[in-house]
Amino acid sequence: MKKKIKLFDPVVGNEEEITLKKILRSGFWASGAGTGKVSEFEKKFSKYTGSKFCVAVNSGTAALHLALSLMDIKNKEVIIPSLSFVSTAHAVVYNGGKPVFVDVDPKTLCIDPELIKKSITKKTRVILPVHFGGMPCNLHEIQHICKKNNLSLVEDAAHASGTSYKNKKIGSHANAVCFSFHPVKNLAMPTGGAITLNGKDSDIFNSILKSDRWCGISNRQGSKYDVTSLGWNYYMNEFSAAIGIEQLKKLDRMNSERKKIVKRYSKELQIDSKMPFNKDCSYHLYWIQITNREKFRKMMTKNGIETGIHYFPIHQMKYYKSKSKLPITEKVGKNIVSLPIHPNLHESDVNKIINLTNKFTK
Protein backbone atom coordinates (compact mmCIF):
# COMPACT_ATOMS: atom_id res chain seq x y z
CA MET A 1 0.00 0.00 0.00
CA LYS A 2 1.25 3.49 -0.86
CA LYS A 3 2.31 5.64 2.11
CA LYS A 4 0.02 8.50 3.01
CA ILE A 5 1.45 12.01 2.69
CA LYS A 6 0.93 13.43 6.15
CA LEU A 7 -0.03 17.00 6.93
CA PHE A 8 2.41 17.19 9.86
CA ASP A 9 5.15 14.73 10.79
CA PRO A 10 7.73 15.18 13.56
CA VAL A 11 11.38 14.57 12.64
CA VAL A 12 12.65 11.87 14.98
CA GLY A 13 16.14 10.34 15.02
CA ASN A 14 18.28 8.07 17.20
CA GLU A 15 19.09 11.06 19.41
CA GLU A 16 15.54 11.19 20.76
CA GLU A 17 15.47 7.42 21.37
CA ILE A 18 18.78 7.43 23.28
CA THR A 19 17.88 10.35 25.52
CA LEU A 20 14.41 8.92 26.27
CA LYS A 21 15.88 5.61 27.36
CA LYS A 22 18.20 7.41 29.80
CA ILE A 23 15.32 9.29 31.42
CA LEU A 24 13.23 6.11 31.60
CA ARG A 25 15.98 4.26 33.44
CA SER A 26 16.78 7.22 35.73
CA GLY A 27 13.44 6.83 37.48
CA PHE A 28 13.09 10.65 37.66
CA TRP A 29 10.34 11.51 35.24
CA ALA A 30 8.90 14.73 36.63
CA SER A 31 10.96 17.93 36.64
CA GLY A 32 12.84 19.10 39.72
CA ALA A 33 15.73 17.15 41.15
CA GLY A 34 15.73 14.45 38.38
CA THR A 35 18.03 14.50 35.39
CA GLY A 36 17.81 18.29 35.09
CA LYS A 37 16.51 18.23 31.51
CA VAL A 38 13.78 20.82 32.14
CA SER A 39 16.19 23.47 33.40
CA GLU A 40 18.68 22.53 30.65
CA PHE A 41 15.94 23.06 28.04
CA GLU A 42 14.98 26.40 29.62
CA LYS A 43 18.56 27.67 29.47
CA LYS A 44 19.02 26.51 25.88
CA PHE A 45 15.69 27.86 24.62
CA SER A 46 16.31 31.19 26.33
CA LYS A 47 19.73 31.40 24.65
CA TYR A 48 18.28 30.36 21.27
CA THR A 49 15.52 32.99 21.38
CA GLY A 50 17.74 35.68 22.91
CA SER A 51 15.31 36.14 25.79
CA LYS A 52 16.12 36.90 29.42
CA PHE A 53 14.29 33.94 30.95
CA CYS A 54 12.36 30.87 29.86
CA VAL A 55 9.73 29.09 31.94
CA ALA A 56 8.92 25.60 30.61
CA VAL A 57 5.35 24.32 31.07
CA ASN A 58 3.26 21.41 29.84
CA SER A 59 1.42 23.07 26.90
CA GLY A 60 1.01 26.22 24.88
CA THR A 61 -2.39 26.66 26.51
CA ALA A 62 -0.75 26.62 29.97
CA ALA A 63 1.85 29.14 28.72
CA LEU A 64 -0.90 31.55 27.60
CA HIS A 65 -2.87 31.05 30.82
CA LEU A 66 0.17 31.77 32.99
CA ALA A 67 1.46 34.70 30.92
CA LEU A 68 -1.91 36.47 31.10
CA SER A 69 -2.14 35.75 34.84
CA LEU A 70 0.67 38.31 35.22
CA MET A 71 -1.33 41.08 33.56
CA ASP A 72 -4.31 41.71 35.88
CA ILE A 73 -6.99 41.36 33.18
CA LYS A 74 -10.02 40.54 35.38
CA ASN A 75 -13.05 42.30 33.80
CA LYS A 76 -10.69 43.90 31.28
CA GLU A 77 -10.33 43.45 27.52
CA VAL A 78 -7.65 41.60 25.59
CA ILE A 79 -7.40 42.16 21.82
CA ILE A 80 -6.84 38.92 19.88
CA PRO A 81 -7.39 37.56 16.35
CA SER A 82 -10.32 35.20 15.88
CA LEU A 83 -8.31 33.21 13.35
CA SER A 84 -6.41 31.03 15.83
CA PHE A 85 -6.63 27.90 17.91
CA VAL A 86 -9.23 28.37 20.63
CA SER A 87 -6.63 28.43 23.46
CA THR A 88 -5.75 32.00 22.49
CA ALA A 89 -9.23 33.07 23.61
CA HIS A 90 -9.64 30.53 26.43
CA ALA A 91 -6.52 31.87 28.18
CA VAL A 92 -8.18 35.29 28.41
CA VAL A 93 -11.36 33.80 29.88
CA TYR A 94 -9.42 31.59 32.36
CA ASN A 95 -8.07 34.85 33.80
CA GLY A 96 -11.47 36.55 34.01
CA GLY A 97 -10.88 38.79 30.98
CA LYS A 98 -12.91 39.44 27.85
CA PRO A 99 -11.50 38.54 24.42
CA VAL A 100 -12.09 41.25 21.80
CA PHE A 101 -11.79 39.76 18.33
CA VAL A 102 -10.08 41.77 15.59
CA ASP A 103 -9.79 41.01 11.87
CA VAL A 104 -6.60 39.99 10.07
CA ASP A 105 -4.51 41.30 7.19
CA PRO A 106 -5.62 39.30 4.12
CA LYS A 107 -2.03 38.84 2.89
CA THR A 108 -0.42 37.45 6.05
CA LEU A 109 -3.51 36.41 8.08
CA CYS A 110 -1.89 38.10 11.10
CA ILE A 111 -3.91 40.60 13.15
CA ASP A 112 -4.28 43.97 11.41
CA PRO A 113 -2.65 46.81 13.46
CA GLU A 114 -4.95 49.46 11.95
CA LEU A 115 -7.99 47.53 13.21
CA ILE A 116 -6.36 47.03 16.63
CA LYS A 117 -6.27 50.82 17.00
CA LYS A 118 -10.02 51.04 16.34
CA SER A 119 -10.80 48.37 18.97
CA ILE A 120 -9.02 49.95 21.94
CA THR A 121 -11.32 51.09 24.76
CA LYS A 122 -10.82 52.22 28.36
CA LYS A 123 -10.99 48.56 29.38
CA THR A 124 -8.24 47.29 27.07
CA ARG A 125 -5.20 45.93 28.94
CA VAL A 126 -3.36 43.57 26.59
CA ILE A 127 -2.78 43.01 22.87
CA LEU A 128 -2.21 39.34 22.07
CA PRO A 129 -1.18 38.80 18.43
CA VAL A 130 -0.67 35.33 16.88
CA HIS A 131 2.21 34.77 14.45
CA PHE A 132 -0.10 32.90 12.09
CA GLY A 133 1.51 29.81 10.56
CA GLY A 134 4.83 31.22 11.80
CA MET A 135 4.53 34.47 9.81
CA PRO A 136 5.83 37.29 12.03
CA CYS A 137 3.19 39.92 12.88
CA ASN A 138 3.97 43.60 12.44
CA LEU A 139 5.49 43.82 15.93
CA HIS A 140 6.97 47.26 15.30
CA GLU A 141 3.52 48.75 14.78
CA ILE A 142 1.91 46.72 17.58
CA GLN A 143 4.64 47.68 20.06
CA HIS A 144 4.07 51.32 19.10
CA ILE A 145 0.31 50.99 19.75
CA CYS A 146 1.00 49.35 23.14
CA LYS A 147 3.39 52.10 24.18
CA LYS A 148 1.06 54.89 23.12
CA ASN A 149 -1.93 53.39 24.97
CA ASN A 150 -0.06 51.97 27.97
CA LEU A 151 -0.98 48.36 27.10
CA SER A 152 0.92 45.11 27.62
CA LEU A 153 1.99 42.91 24.74
CA VAL A 154 1.85 39.12 25.03
CA GLU A 155 2.70 37.15 21.86
CA ASP A 156 1.12 33.82 20.93
CA ALA A 157 4.14 32.23 19.26
CA ALA A 158 2.69 28.70 19.22
CA HIS A 159 3.53 28.50 15.48
CA ALA A 160 6.70 30.56 15.63
CA SER A 161 9.56 28.46 17.04
CA GLY A 162 12.45 29.69 14.91
CA THR A 163 10.64 32.66 13.33
CA SER A 164 12.60 35.93 13.26
CA TYR A 165 11.52 39.53 13.26
CA LYS A 166 13.97 42.31 12.39
CA ASN A 167 16.97 39.96 12.77
CA LYS A 168 15.97 38.77 16.25
CA LYS A 169 14.26 35.49 17.06
CA ILE A 170 10.64 35.57 18.18
CA GLY A 171 10.78 35.17 21.95
CA SER A 172 13.03 38.18 22.48
CA HIS A 173 10.66 41.07 21.71
CA ALA A 174 7.70 41.25 24.10
CA ASN A 175 7.63 41.03 27.91
CA ALA A 176 5.98 37.59 27.61
CA VAL A 177 6.01 35.28 24.58
CA CYS A 178 4.14 31.95 24.59
CA PHE A 179 5.26 28.86 22.68
CA SER A 180 3.66 25.47 22.07
CA PHE A 181 5.67 22.28 21.59
CA HIS A 182 2.68 20.09 20.72
CA PRO A 183 3.79 17.08 18.59
CA VAL A 184 2.78 18.78 15.32
CA LYS A 185 4.78 21.93 16.03
CA ASN A 186 8.19 22.81 14.50
CA LEU A 187 9.85 21.98 17.82
CA ALA A 188 7.93 18.86 18.83
CA MET A 189 7.49 17.22 22.23
CA PRO A 190 4.86 14.74 23.45
CA THR A 191 3.36 17.80 25.14
CA GLY A 192 4.96 21.08 26.16
CA GLY A 193 5.10 24.84 26.05
CA ALA A 194 7.14 27.76 27.32
CA ILE A 195 6.97 31.43 28.19
CA THR A 196 9.99 33.56 27.38
CA LEU A 197 10.34 36.75 29.41
CA ASN A 198 12.03 40.06 28.69
CA GLY A 199 11.96 43.60 30.08
CA LYS A 200 12.39 45.16 33.46
CA ASP A 201 9.99 42.92 35.39
CA SER A 202 11.27 39.66 33.90
CA ASP A 203 13.15 38.71 37.11
CA ILE A 204 10.02 38.91 39.23
CA PHE A 205 7.81 37.32 36.55
CA ASN A 206 10.27 34.44 36.25
CA SER A 207 10.05 33.59 39.94
CA ILE A 208 6.25 34.02 40.06
CA LEU A 209 5.76 31.71 37.07
CA LYS A 210 8.26 29.10 38.26
CA SER A 211 6.21 28.84 41.45
CA ASP A 212 2.78 29.06 39.77
CA ARG A 213 3.54 26.33 37.26
CA TRP A 214 3.71 23.91 40.18
CA CYS A 215 0.84 24.68 42.55
CA GLY A 216 2.36 27.87 43.95
CA ILE A 217 5.18 26.01 45.68
CA SER A 218 8.17 28.17 46.57
CA ASN A 219 11.17 28.41 48.89
CA ARG A 220 12.02 24.73 48.53
CA GLN A 221 14.83 23.59 50.82
CA GLY A 222 15.24 19.84 50.75
CA SER A 223 11.83 18.43 51.48
CA LYS A 224 10.61 21.68 53.09
CA TYR A 225 8.65 24.25 51.13
CA ASP A 226 6.00 26.94 51.39
CA VAL A 227 2.98 27.71 49.21
CA THR A 228 2.70 31.39 48.35
CA SER A 229 -0.04 31.41 45.70
CA LEU A 230 -2.75 29.16 44.26
CA GLY A 231 -0.82 28.04 41.14
CA TRP A 232 -1.56 25.14 38.77
CA ASN A 233 -0.09 21.77 37.89
CA TYR A 234 1.60 22.94 34.68
CA TYR A 235 5.21 21.76 34.98
CA MET A 236 7.03 20.20 32.02
CA ASN A 237 8.18 16.58 32.46
CA GLU A 238 11.72 15.33 31.84
CA PHE A 239 10.79 13.24 28.77
CA SER A 240 9.37 16.25 26.96
CA ALA A 241 12.35 18.41 27.88
CA ALA A 242 14.84 15.74 26.74
CA ILE A 243 13.13 15.48 23.34
CA GLY A 244 12.94 19.26 23.18
CA ILE A 245 16.71 19.59 23.67
CA GLU A 246 17.33 17.29 20.69
CA GLN A 247 14.67 19.04 18.58
CA LEU A 248 16.15 22.44 19.36
CA LYS A 249 19.56 21.34 18.02
CA LYS A 250 18.00 20.73 14.61
CA LEU A 251 15.28 23.40 14.61
CA ASP A 252 16.98 25.85 12.22
CA ARG A 253 17.89 23.03 9.84
CA MET A 254 14.33 21.65 9.91
CA ASN A 255 12.91 25.13 9.32
CA SER A 256 15.14 25.67 6.28
CA GLU A 257 13.84 22.36 4.87
CA ARG A 258 10.32 23.75 5.31
CA LYS A 259 11.36 26.95 3.52
CA LYS A 260 12.71 25.02 0.53
CA ILE A 261 9.29 23.42 0.11
CA VAL A 262 7.53 26.77 0.52
CA LYS A 263 9.73 28.29 -2.19
CA ARG A 264 8.34 25.68 -4.57
CA TYR A 265 4.75 26.09 -3.34
CA SER A 266 4.82 29.85 -3.72
CA LYS A 267 6.41 29.67 -7.17
CA GLU A 268 4.60 26.70 -8.68
CA LEU A 269 1.10 26.68 -7.18
CA GLN A 270 -1.15 28.42 -9.70
CA ILE A 271 -3.61 29.79 -7.18
CA ASP A 272 -4.31 33.43 -6.36
CA SER A 273 -4.58 33.20 -2.61
CA LYS A 274 -1.65 31.46 -0.93
CA MET A 275 0.75 32.05 1.92
CA PRO A 276 3.54 34.37 0.76
CA PHE A 277 7.25 33.56 0.98
CA ASN A 278 9.11 35.27 3.82
CA LYS A 279 12.61 34.15 4.77
CA ASP A 280 11.91 34.95 8.45
CA CYS A 281 8.87 32.65 8.74
CA SER A 282 9.08 29.24 10.44
CA TYR A 283 6.27 27.85 8.22
CA HIS A 284 4.50 25.77 10.81
CA LEU A 285 1.57 25.88 8.37
CA TYR A 286 1.28 26.44 4.65
CA TRP A 287 -2.17 27.75 3.69
CA ILE A 288 -4.02 28.29 0.45
CA GLN A 289 -7.56 29.59 -0.01
CA ILE A 290 -9.86 27.76 -2.32
CA THR A 291 -13.58 27.85 -3.09
CA ASN A 292 -15.02 24.35 -3.20
CA ARG A 293 -12.82 23.39 -0.27
CA GLU A 294 -14.56 20.14 0.64
CA LYS A 295 -14.36 18.82 -2.93
CA PHE A 296 -10.65 19.71 -3.00
CA ARG A 297 -9.97 18.00 0.33
CA LYS A 298 -11.85 14.88 -0.74
CA MET A 299 -9.81 14.70 -3.96
CA MET A 300 -6.56 15.07 -1.97
CA THR A 301 -7.62 12.38 0.54
CA LYS A 302 -8.46 10.04 -2.34
CA ASN A 303 -4.92 10.57 -3.60
CA GLY A 304 -3.39 9.82 -0.19
CA ILE A 305 -2.68 13.42 0.83
CA GLU A 306 -3.78 14.79 4.20
CA THR A 307 -4.94 18.40 4.38
CA GLY A 308 -6.27 20.46 7.30
CA ILE A 309 -8.33 23.48 8.25
CA HIS A 310 -6.61 26.06 10.43
CA TYR A 311 -8.90 27.52 11.62
CA PHE A 312 -12.64 27.84 11.96
CA PRO A 313 -12.94 31.36 13.48
CA ILE A 314 -13.22 31.42 17.28
CA HIS A 315 -15.83 34.22 17.36
CA GLN A 316 -18.25 31.92 15.51
CA MET A 317 -17.92 29.04 18.00
CA LYS A 318 -20.97 28.35 20.19
CA TYR A 319 -19.12 29.15 23.42
CA TYR A 320 -17.98 32.59 22.20
CA LYS A 321 -20.75 33.51 19.75
CA SER A 322 -19.44 37.05 19.50
CA LYS A 323 -21.30 39.65 17.48
CA SER A 324 -18.00 40.90 16.03
CA LYS A 325 -18.07 41.47 12.29
CA LEU A 326 -14.82 40.19 10.85
CA PRO A 327 -15.32 39.93 7.07
CA ILE A 328 -11.80 38.75 6.19
CA THR A 329 -11.62 36.16 8.96
CA GLU A 330 -15.10 34.87 8.06
CA LYS A 331 -14.19 34.49 4.37
CA VAL A 332 -10.86 32.86 5.22
CA GLY A 333 -12.65 30.50 7.64
CA LYS A 334 -14.70 29.19 4.70
CA ASN A 335 -11.88 28.81 2.18
CA ILE A 336 -8.63 28.11 4.00
CA VAL A 337 -6.85 24.76 3.62
CA SER A 338 -3.48 23.71 5.03
CA LEU A 339 -1.22 21.69 2.72
CA PRO A 340 1.41 19.24 4.05
CA ILE A 341 4.54 21.02 5.25
CA HIS A 342 7.36 19.28 7.13
CA PRO A 343 10.96 18.17 6.54
CA ASN A 344 9.94 14.53 5.95
CA LEU A 345 8.29 15.36 2.60
CA HIS A 346 10.12 13.94 -0.42
CA GLU A 347 10.51 15.80 -3.70
CA SER A 348 8.01 13.38 -5.28
CA ASP A 349 5.47 14.21 -2.52
CA VAL A 350 5.82 17.93 -3.20
CA ASN A 351 5.48 17.33 -6.97
CA LYS A 352 2.30 15.37 -6.36
CA ILE A 353 0.79 18.03 -4.05
CA ILE A 354 1.56 20.81 -6.55
CA ASN A 355 0.32 18.90 -9.60
CA LEU A 356 -2.96 17.81 -8.03
CA THR A 357 -3.69 21.27 -6.62
CA ASN A 358 -2.97 22.94 -9.98
CA LYS A 359 -5.10 20.40 -11.83
CA PHE A 360 -8.02 21.05 -9.45
CA THR A 361 -7.83 24.83 -9.66
CA LYS A 362 -7.28 25.05 -13.45
Ligand X SMILES: Cc1ncc(COP(=O)(O)O)c(C=O)c1O
Q: Which residues bind ligand X (CB under 6 A)?
A: 59-61, 84-85, 87-88, 130, 156, 158-159, 180, 182, 193
Min CB(203)–ligand X separation in Å: 26
Min CB(159)–ligand X separation in Å: 6
Which one is catalytic: 37, 76, 169, 185?
A: 185
251-254, long-range: CB < 8 A, 24+ apart: 251/48, 251/161, 251/162, 251/186, 251/187, 252/162, 254/11, 254/186, 254/343
- CB nearer to ligand X: give 46 or 88: 88
Mark 246-271 as b/e (b = at least 16 C-beta within 10 Å). Answer: bbbeebeebbebbbebbeebeeebee
Q: Do the beta carbons of residue 145 and residue 113 sit within 8 Å?
A: yes
- CB nearer to ligand X: give 88 or 357: 88
Identify whether 318 is a catalytic site residue: no
- CB nearer to ligand X: give 77 or 155: 155
CB atoms closer than 10 angstroms to residue 356: 16
* Amino acid at position 330, single letter: E
Q: Based on DSSP, count helices (H) and strands (E) in the chain, helices before strands.
A: 12, 13
Largest CA distance in the chain: 69
Min CB(158)–ligand X separation in Å: 3
| Backbone Cα Rg of the chain | 21
Min CB(80)–ligand X separation in Å: 10
- CB nearer to ligand X: give 88 or 198: 88
Residues annotated catalytic, as ranges? 185
